[in-house]
Structure 1
Amino acid sequence: MTVHTELRPAAPPEPPAAKPFWTPRRRDALVGWAFIAPQVLGFFLFVLGPLIAVIWYSFQSTNLLAGTTEFAGLENYEHLLDDPVMPSVARATVLFCVGLVVLNLSLALLLAVLLNQKLHGTTVFRTIFFSPVVVSLVAWTIAWNLMLQDNGSINAMLQAVGIDGPNWLRGENSAMISVIVVQVIKNVGLNMVLFLAALQGVPRSLLEAAELDGAGPWRRFRTITLPMISPTTLLTAIITVSGALHVFAQIQILTLGGPADSTNVLVFYFYQQAFGNHDFGYGAVLAVVLFVIIALLTTLQWRMRKRWVFYEA
């Protein structure tokens, strides 16, 4: 007996369900972009936009009286090479940066090491050393301007012990030293706190093991402590170098770049040219030079981290 089976055509497969547009991944991405949108917008408006404008102005010749702007090509950059004041400005900038960075970092590390000791009254001294950081920069500089005058309180104290102090802000050498010291005292507390936090993070077991092996205090500090706090040293170095190249208010209030351009650093010279002489084209060139110097120094420090930062491979 033969059984006949009827073949039925297979049912067409059901179309896959359409995926919703707002998947969890896309919602998370939208939330992320919403959070960073203010920062991105601010970067374009207040960083990238002004930077492009400065570069554009550096190729222009602006006449404020006539209200005209003409393309000047490389004339402003050629003027930079022929400017007779630039050697003095470069010398003052280098002296100020080197003096500030060396003195600030050395003093901050020394204070941090002293305050890291288990002694009575360290909390009071931490407050004293850090308090200038939160003081208004202008008020701080004005107070020091009064103290550094020929008849100021510093010379009065020196005279009380039989020393005839100079007019600190009128001598070419003493003016630069005074500006550096004022800036160091103002900001050394910040680096001190950073170094202090790094010192407190050094494992005591390593120091105790080195002491048991006969290593003295200086050897323990040089071979264990300094390598362990090298990331903080890198951070403070970058912050201090960048801050040294941006100093303006202290020069404006204390010396106005004098005497004989001995304290006329690059930032203040840029201000003089752009807003004093109303030469925006040449001022923009100086701003571009300052930007390039800061970028190169920061990149150099960052590239060298692998050689002297302990945590880098």
Structure 2
Amino acid sequence: MLSVVLKTFGDLMSALVSQKKNLFSGETLSGWLFISPMMFGFLCFFIIPVIAIFGYSVTEWNILSQDSTFVGLQNYQEIFTENEEFWLVVRNSLVFAGGLVPLNIALALVLALALNQKFTGVVFFRTVYFAPVITAGAAWAIVWSFLLQKESGGVNQLLALIGIDGPNWLREPNWAMFAVIMTRVIKNVGLNMILYLAALQSISPDYVEASSLDGATPWQRFRHIIWPLLAPTTLVISIVTVVGSLKVFDHIYLMTGGGPESGTLVLAYYIYERAFEFFEIGYASALAVILFVLTLVLTVGQWLLKQKEQ
């Protein structure tokens, strides 16, 4: 939505500057009227809340007593120098993103390459792999929390058929993060698969045919032709997936509650915990600002890295 708003706004400004149109002329006014609902929603539900979060982050505000005191950067100082749990939360968030992002992208690409072929039932398989994307996140997490139980879970029952004693997936620190990552990957991989599939179908078959005539192997065709042409799509997918991995909340809340032993306590859930369980709105707002900055840095970093490669 942001990109659409900024593009439309930029086009209007270019028209005003280049053609010297009056700000309230008929054509320009029509443009403003068309984007006004989106601008209003963007202002009310993004810009104003973000500004408010920055303001709350420099206060000590207890939501129960409604007492608010300006404390400056005290919340940030406490987070970085006194709160040892914060660094555990950051580590968990980076582990979650570091596991989810490459798995999601790799699996989405493999599925897209497989389903880009013409065979009987290809539409059915595309639908099956995309179905989890439109499934409610809460329902998905609840179902998987039952499937991953120690004794009665469907996953361990299937493993028992081949003689494997499955772990207590969501109650053992060494397995809980892995279980949450995998269920999240399965949930969202279909969307990235569709994006890759659309990009693959936009590649001219002439490139592939020419490389085949030159004697290129399937791997060489993928490595030197298909993969470079997928670079813009990969950039979009990686940015969206990284942002989504850092703000994950529903899976953690419903499957593990940040446990066991804070093994899956990620930053988004930690913000919720400090705000609505400990009622420290100012402190939670400072954590939210840190999450915002971390997401922004990673997003810009990915963008600059791709630009450098090109």
Work out whether the TM-score is over 0.5: yes
SS in 1 for 2:68: strand
Q: Supply the RMSD in Å over aligned alpha carbons.
A: 1.6
Tell me how many residue pairs correspond in the alignment.
288
Do residues 109 (structure 1) and 120 (structure 2) align?
A: no
Displacement of 1:159: 1.2
Return 146-155 or 35-44, whichever deviates more. Answer: 35-44
**Which whole-Å CA distance do the structure 2 matches of 1:48 and 1:243 have between them?**
19
* In 2: Cα distance, 1:70 partner to 1:31 partner: 45
C-alpha distance after superposition, 1:18-59 (max 9, x if no partner): xxxx98981011111111112222222221111111111111
Kept in 2, the 8 Å contact 1:96–1:180? The answer is: yes
Shifted more, 60-69 versus 186-195: the winner is 60-69
Structure-1 separation of matches of 2:216 and 2:174 = 42
1:274: which partner in 2?
275
C-alpha separation between the residues in 1 aligned to 2:64 and 2:93?
Answer: 32
Query: In 1, are the aligned partners of 2:200 and 2:230 still within 8 Å (CA)?
Result: yes
What residue in structure 1 maps to residue 204 of structure 2? 203
Deviation at 1:300, TM superposition (A): 1.9
1:217, CA displacement in angstroms?
0.5
Shift of 1:196: 0.8
Contact 1:112 1:196 (C-alpha < 8 Å) held by counterparts: yes
1:202 aligned counterpart, secondary structure: coil
Superposed CA deviations along residues 91-139 of structure 1, whole A, max 9, x for unmatched, are 1101100110000000000001111122222111111101111111111
After TM superposition, give the deviation of residue 71 of structure 1 in Å.
0.7
Distance in 2, matches of 1:25 and 1:59, equals: 40
**Structure 1 residue aligned with 2:122:** 122
Q: Distance in 2 between matches of 1:262 and 1:233?
A: 30
Distance in 1, Cα, partners of 2:22 & 2:287: 51
Pairing 1:2-21 to 2, within 5 Å after superposition: none
Q: Please give the residue correspondences for 1:1-313 in structure 2 after superposition, counting only pairs within 5 Å.
A: 26-81=25-80, 82-151=82-151, 152-308=153-309
Structure 1 residue 224, shift from structure 2 partner:
0.1
Cα offset, 1:66, TM superposition: 3.2
State how far apart, in whole Å, the 1-side matches of 2:282 and 2:189 are: 36
Shift of 1:65: 4.1
Which runs of 5 or more structure 1 residues have no equivalent in the other structure? 1-21
Q: TM-score, normalised by structure 2?
A: 0.89
- The 8 Å contact of residues 61 and 68 in structure 2, kept in 1 or not, is answered as yes
Task: Identify the residue that residue 14 of structure 1 maps to in structure 2.
Answer: none
Instruction: Measure, in 2, the Cα distance between the counterparts of 1:24 and 1:50.
Output: 29
SS of the counterpart of 2:84? Answer: coil
Q: Deviations over 1:133-157 (max 9, x none)?
A: 1111111110000000112111111
Any gaps of 5 or more consecutive residues in structure 2?
A: 1-20
Contact 1:230 1:308 in 2 (8 A): no
C-alpha deviation, 1:87, in angstroms? 1.9
1:156-175, Cα deviation, whole Å (9 max, x unpaired): 11112211111000111210
Instruction: Give the Cα separation in 2 of the matches to 1:214 and 1:191.
Output: 31
Larger radius of gyration: 1
